[in-house]
Amino acid sequence: GAGVSQSPSNKVTEKGKDVELRCDPISGHTALYWYRQSLGQGLEFLIYFQGNSAPDKSGLPSDRFSAERTGGSVSTLTIQRTQQEDSAVYLCASSQQGAGGELFFGEGSRLTVL
């Protein structure tokens, strides 16, 4: 696609439910990133993929969070047993291969946990 696409754009869920957030990167971009932006907070790094592997998962806040990427393209971020503190905007970005690549972000998925 022309840009990074994320779905759903908005998700409201009840505490304890599992949610899946999807990211479709720019075609040909091998690097994919997940970030989280909480109200009044800066952007927090979650995980980075190069191809289908994740060399850096250091930002995942707990074992309730996991992510996978298949076919070197679409990525899914899964949050199990959601908590109210998980409420945030989850942003995905992609870049071409190489450390110097420019990152392009999607519009984000706004998650609200009641």
Partner 1 sequence: KQEVTQIPAALSVPEGENLVLNCSFTDSAIYNLQWFRQDPGKGLTSLLLIQSSQREQTSGRLNASLDKSSGRSTLYIAASQPGDSATYLCAVKEVTGGGNKLTFGTGTQLKVEL
Binding site for partner 1 (CB under 8 A): 4, 31, 33, 35, 41-43, 45, 48, 50, 55-56, 58-59, 91, 93, 99-100, 102-108
**Residue with smaller CB distance to partner 1, 4 or 21:** 4
Min dist CB 15 to partner 1, Å, is 24
46 versus 79: smaller Cβ distance to partner 1: 46
Largest CA distance in the chain: 40
Q: How far apart are CA 77 and CA 80, in angstroms?
A: 10
